[in-house]
Amino acid sequence: MPQAIPLASRRTNLLLGAVLACAWALFAWAHVQGFRHSGDWSYLLFFASETLVALLFLLRSEPVKVSHSPLDWGLAIGCTAAPLFFAPAGWALLPAAKLILVAGIVLQIGGLLSLNRSFGLVAAQRQIKTRGLYSVVRHPLYASYLLSYCGYVLANTSIANLLVCLTAALLLVVRLRREERFLSQAAEYRSYMEQVKYRVIPLIF
């Protein structure tokens, strides 16, 4: 039977939304400025993909059941906020890595559009998506994030961006494992895990 979402969780969601909106505004300003000064369209693509994440967060559907674990909420906030600390840099370890960044962004947008309103930040039981990218790996969005992070750092190389990338990747892996532990409480998701064997990278993980 569906469980009502407590008022406290709704207030937490509102506060989280406000904090992320502020972080997004700073992120947006930095990347629009980066495009204006360099003419590099990859800044606008990265900005657009992260904006889509923010938009779907606001439009997400109500879950049947949501995790109230402080750790899960902390991981969700950390994973969402971390990439907003990426900033344009004046040097690229691998200039062609912009293509990796674009590939990650395209994959991310495809995953987000597949999820539509089933998107969420914290582990929650919503309608399970099994088609498209979700028939290949269980977490194509996380795969796209990792690809985008690597591409961004190689194309915008700095110590700060490298630290952001490593932090975001570590948080993401921990978040993924805890999320699956929560979702596997439902028989429907356990069945999905049997059908789609790999989490992020086919044949590897």
Tens of pLDDT along 74-83?
A: 898 898 889 9
The predicted pLDDT at position 117 comes to 58
pTM above 0.75, yes or no: yes
The answer, yes or no, to whether residue 194 has pLDDT greater than 90, is yes
The predicted pLDDT at position 13 comes to 66
Cα separation of 109 and 140, whole Å?
10
Considering 1-10, 113-122, 149-158, the range whose residues carry the highest mean pLDDT is: 149-158
CA-based nearest residue to 24, from 79, 84, 69: 84
Tens of pLDDT along 15-44?
A: 777 777 788 888 888 888 888 888 888 888
Neighbours of 70 (CB within 10 A): 8
The answer, yes or no, to whether residue 124 has pLDDT greater than 80, is no
The predicted pLDDT at position 15 comes to 74
Tens of pLDDT along 80-112?
A: 889 989 999 989 999 899 899 999 988 888 887
The predicted pLDDT at position 62 comes to 63
For residues 60 and 120, the answer to whether their CB atoms sit within 8 Å is yes
The predicted pLDDT at position 7 comes to 46
Write down the domain spans for the chain: 7-195
Which one is the CATH code of 7-195: 3.20.20.70, 3.40.50.300, 1.20.120.1630, 3.40.50.1100? Answer: 1.20.120.1630
For residues 101 and 169, the answer to whether their CB atoms sit within 8 Å is no
Q: What mean pLDDT comes out for the span 138-155? A: 94
Sign, CA torsion 47/48/50/55: positive
